């Protein structure tokens, strides 16, 4: 099962026709995706399950309907165990950005963290997961696929937000401040965090 977020509303992609009474289930091959997205944005429908019996074909069909944009980003820790956040569009977020031509996704992720925060000395420690959300670019809906990596750095210099990308703040946050930031973050971002960061605030839990 996968989740593709339209703002903070997840569209479920699964191999099961029925996943719960409140869900509207539609074969992914037959869905009129742009109309569905507009209904979600208007609040006309909140629980959607797009299904196909072959899990490998779920995203093949999705990508045929929404052209993907590939991006990379980082969940970055310093030696104190603090996590690196950016603030953009009135939300706390993690640094990320679009992949460039002839660049590996690992290179993209490190470059974007560096550009958006001016943090240096980044080392990837593990791949976390890929998140998916719908965005609008040049009047068209697109599928944003962001590949996330856990990173570590010993950097203790000045943090500088990339203002031309709409970032107004960059901060290291400890455990408690991270929990508070996640109250003002995106649902797909919360998927990246260990459960102990979410359990203190039931509204942050992802079912």
Same domain assignment for residues 56 and 100: no
Same domain assignment for residues 73 and 35: no
Q: The domain spanning residue 166 has which CATH number? A: 3.90.79.10
The pLDDT score that the predictor gives to residue 97 is: 97
Using the predicted structure, report yes or no on whether residue 41 has a pLDDT greater than 70. Answer: yes
Same domain assignment for residues 111 and 48: no
Same domain assignment for residues 111 and 155: yes
Render pLDDT for 114-125 as a digit per residue (tens, 0 to 9): 999 999 999 999
The pLDDT score that the predictor gives to residue 192 is: 96
- pTM (2 d.p.): 0.90
Report which secondary-structure segment, H or E, holds 141. Answer: strand 140-152
Render pLDDT for 90-148 as a digit per residue (tens, 0 to 9): 999 999 999 999 999 999 999 999 999 999 999 999 999 999 999 998 889 999 999 99
Same domain assignment for residues 58 and 73: no
Domain boundary among 44, 65, 86: 65
Q: Which domain holds residue 95?
A: 68-204
Query: 195: pLDDT confidence band, cut at 50, 70 and 90?
Result: confident
Same domain assignment for residues 46 and 73: no
Same domain assignment for residues 144 and 119: yes
Same domain assignment for residues 191 and 94: yes
Alpha-carbon dihedral 52, 53, 55, 59, rounded to 10 degrees: -20
Same domain assignment for residues 113 and 187: yes
């Amino acid at each position: 099962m996968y989740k593709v977020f339209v703002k903070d509303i997840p569209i479920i992609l699964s191999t099961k026709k029925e996943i719960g009474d409140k869900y509207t289930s539609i074969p992914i091959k037959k869905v009129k995706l742009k109309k569905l997205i507009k209904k979600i944005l208007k609040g006309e429908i909140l629980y959607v399950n797009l299904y196909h019996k072959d899990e490998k074909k779920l995203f093949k069909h999705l990508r045929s309907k929404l052209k993907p944009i590939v991006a990379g980003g980082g969940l970055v820790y310093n030696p104190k165990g603090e996590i690196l956040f950016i603030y953009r569009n009135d939300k706390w977020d993690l640094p990320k950005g679009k992949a460039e031509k002839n660049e590996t996704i690992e290179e993209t992720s490190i470059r974007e963290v560096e550009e958006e925060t001016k943090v240096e000395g980044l080392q990837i420690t593990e791949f976390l997961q890929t998140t998916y959300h719908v965005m609008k670019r040049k009047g068209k809906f697109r599928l944003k696929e962001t590949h996330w990596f856990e990173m570590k750095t010993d950097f203790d210099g000045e943090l500088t937000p990339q203002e031309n990308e709409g970032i107004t703040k960059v901060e290291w946050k400890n455990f408690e401040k991270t929990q508070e930031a996640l109250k003002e973050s995106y649902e797909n971002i919360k998927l990246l965090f260990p459960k102990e960061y979410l359990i203190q605030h039931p509204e942050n839990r992802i079912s």
